[in-house]
Structure 1
Amino acid sequence: MTVSPARSIQEGHAHPLVSVITPTYNATRFIRETIDSVKRQTYPYWELILVDDCSSDETVSLIQEELHDPRIRLIVLPKNSGAAVARNTGISAAGGKYLAFLDSDDLWLSEKLEKQVTYMQHHDVAFTFTRYRMIRENGTLTPFVVTIPQEIDYNGLLKNTIIGCLTVMLDRDKLGLVQMPNIRTRQDTALWLQILRAGHVAYGIQEELSQYRQVEGSISSNKWKAARNTWRLYRDIEKLSLVRASWCFLHYGWNAWRKRVDQRG
């Protein structure tokens, strides 16, 4: 494992540090744009920890060109291990009070961190997420914005996996140890469920602050695989009974169908 040289980032009480975790794997097409969306944040108290999962393209070289910014760090994993290991490696290296997540092809609007930190400080909450817009693979906007509830608890999330990973912010001081389950897919939803199962509530900020890129051939673009992985999450990770898992899965399917209809419409 190689890590860029250690850097000190000052963190004031009024301006807590946000640690942004970005796993990368063969991300040359989009990684510069993703990094730029972090660098454009109006809230400057962040560190971006990029964890490369053994890319075979120029991803690492492109990231290394950004290391002149002391807020940007790079970790290169010694072997390909999957998104959960990459994210957990970044979390373990993080020094911020807040954790935020941004995949290597997604984007943030410039006020994302500022508005989310302000909301969490004002309302004294541990877990927030926001609305986000779908963008096409070439970066053009679609008309589809994912709407979200004001708040969601464990039972609500089981039936509607509405929380976009790129929109989440977590307060580590309130939540304690945060680690994603080491599974190949749905590790983000599994973490949200773990947090909510402990009694926390996730609060939805009703603003569009992120952009989710629809990449052809990605895991998330395959709806059948997504459904299968959700079922495995219910049964293997959450250990739901067959009856309860089936009930939640029916709700999940209905909400997923509504989302696709809204997206097409």
Structure 2
Amino acid sequence: MIRIAILIPSYNNEDTINYTLESIQTQREWLKKISAVYIADDCSSDRTIALAQATWHSPIGLHILPADRNQGQWENVNRAINLIKETADWCLILHSDDIAKPNWLEMIISRIEACSENIGSICSSWDNLMPDGSIKQGEDDPDKQLEVIEGNDDAVRGTLLKGCWWHISGCAIRVKMREDCGSFNHKFPYQADWEWLLRSLKRGWAVEYIPRTLILYRQNVSSVSSKSFQTHRDIREFLEIIPKYINLLEPKDLFYLYQQRINFLFRRLVKSLITLNTQRVWQSFQVFFMLLGSLRACQKQLKMIDE
């Protein structure tokens, strides 16, 4: 019997945790295939845990994994997986401000039961739940075939060019894969998922992608993504990750990736000038020169590889 656990990372989510847990409890008979539900709480100072316990009415056990200090989202996930890895073969991760659609467990567990041993993760598309309550739909095509992204250099190159198509909230991770590939790197608050996906594909693990929107992903102006854009953290992290895979890229690929980041930076610079955000203007120029220096170094490295 395959042991499947649900892991919910949380931190001060008293306004949303009940919606998340209620959405899990609507998964009908598929919830019976779950061995346990865990909340990995990163030292919440609000009523997150009390509300979670009051909301949960399923016979499936709800277990709290409290942290002794606030560690941040990636270290919190790493800590929790380490705690449950001996009792689970697969870990389903759902953020404590997201909502599972009624067919989430059915589609994910069906694939867990049918997939081959080289599949390390199963993910899907998602809908974006905007702050104003509107929904921006993702890819939801019942007629489209399941896609298997094999773990090889071509998949790594494609993921470098496309970005992180793998979505952690709502996904399933084979515990054996995570042990083989290592933890999420907390050095990359914004792109730890992308860096981990690249590392996993490089190690030869395949990923299944379900072209259906199985969760509602709540957009938040105070999210890690929003904060990263404000400080250009996403670009700084890119500059640390890309040199590790330089041998898989062609010169045109390299130019495309750097040109893309320069375009991001230019748009942010214009916005900063309009809003008279002088600190961000200065940061934009700093990161621009970092991009140029990194591009020259990577081009030199590519030239040495070709020779």
**What TM-score do you get using the length of structure 2 for normalisation?**
0.67
**Structure 2 residue aligned with 1:24:** 10
Q: Report if the CA contact (8 A) 2:190-2:225 is conserved.
A: no
Q: How many residues align?
A: 239
Q: Report if the CA contact (8 A) 2:130-2:218 is conserved.
A: yes
Q: Report if the CA contact (8 A) 1:159-1:249 is conserved.
A: no
Q: Report if the CA contact (8 A) 1:23-1:50 is conserved.
A: yes
Residue 198 of structure 1 deviates from its aligned partner by 0.6
The aligned amino acid for 1:86 is N
Q: Distance in 1 between matches of 2:157 and 2:114?
A: 26
Question: Which of 64, 72, 81 in structure 2 is aligned with 1:82?
Answer: 72
Q: Equivalences for 1:78-227 in 2 at 5 Å?
A: 78-94=68-84, 95-124=87-116, 125-137=119-131, 140-146=133-139, 150-152=147-149, 153-160=155-162, 161-173=164-176, 176-177=179-180, 178-183=182-187, 184-221=189-226, 224-225=229-230
Larger-Rg structure: 2
Q: Distance in 2 between matches of 1:150 and 1:236?
A: 29
Deviations for 1:200-251, whole angstroms, at most 9, x for unmatched residues?
A: 232211112111111222222457249x333333332454459776643546
The aligned amino acid for 2:203 is A
The structure whose residues are more often strand, as a share, is 1
Residue 63 of structure 1 deviates from its aligned partner by 2.5
What secondary structure is seen at the aligned counterpart in 2 of 1:211? strand
Q: Distance in 2 between matches of 1:196 and 1:229?
A: 24
Q: Report if the CA contact (8 A) 1:22-1:49 is conserved.
A: yes
Q: Distance in 1 between matches of 2:233 and 2:125?
A: 23
**Structure 1 residue aligned with 2:39:** 50
Q: Report if the CA contact (8 A) 2:40-2:66 is conserved.
A: yes
Q: Distance in 1 between matches of 2:92 and 2:20?
A: 14
What secondary structure is seen at the aligned counterpart in 1 of 2:38? strand
Most deviating of 185-194 and 149-158:
149-158
Q: Report if the CA contact (8 A) 2:184-2:192 is conserved.
A: yes
Relative distance call for 1:254 and 1:158 in structure 2 (3 A) is: farther
What secondary structure is seen at the aligned counterpart in 1 of 2:138? strand
Q: Report if the CA contact (8 A) 1:159-1:251 is conserved.
A: no
Q: Distance in 2 between matches of 1:93 and 1:54?
A: 16
Q: Distance in 2 between matches of 1:175 and 1:216?
A: 30
Q: Distance in 1 between matches of 2:96 and 2:259?
A: 31
Q: Distance in 1 between matches of 2:262 and 2:98?
A: 25
Q: Report if the CA contact (8 A) 1:127-1:171 is conserved.
A: yes
The structure whose residues are more often helix, as a share, is 2
What secondary structure is seen at the aligned counterpart in 1 of 2:95? coil
Q: Distance in 2 between matches of 1:246 and 1:100?
A: 37
Provide structure 2 residue ranges, at least 5 long, that are not aligned to the other structure: 150-154, 265-307
Structure 2 residue 257 is matched with structure 1 residue 248: yes
Relative distance call for 1:246 and 1:107 in structure 2 (3 A) is: farther
Structure 2 residue 50 is matched with structure 1 residue 61: yes
Question: Which of 40, 47, 63 in structure 2 is aligned with 1:73?
Answer: 63
The aligned amino acid for 2:8 is T
Provide structure 1 residue ranges, at least 5 long, that are not aligned to the other structure: 1-12, 256-265
What secondary structure is seen at the aligned counterpart in 1 of 2:157? helix
**Structure 1 residue aligned with 2:271:** none
Relative distance call for 1:225 and 1:195 in structure 2 (3 A) is: farther
What secondary structure is seen at the aligned counterpart in 2 of 1:75? strand
The aligned amino acid for 1:35 is L
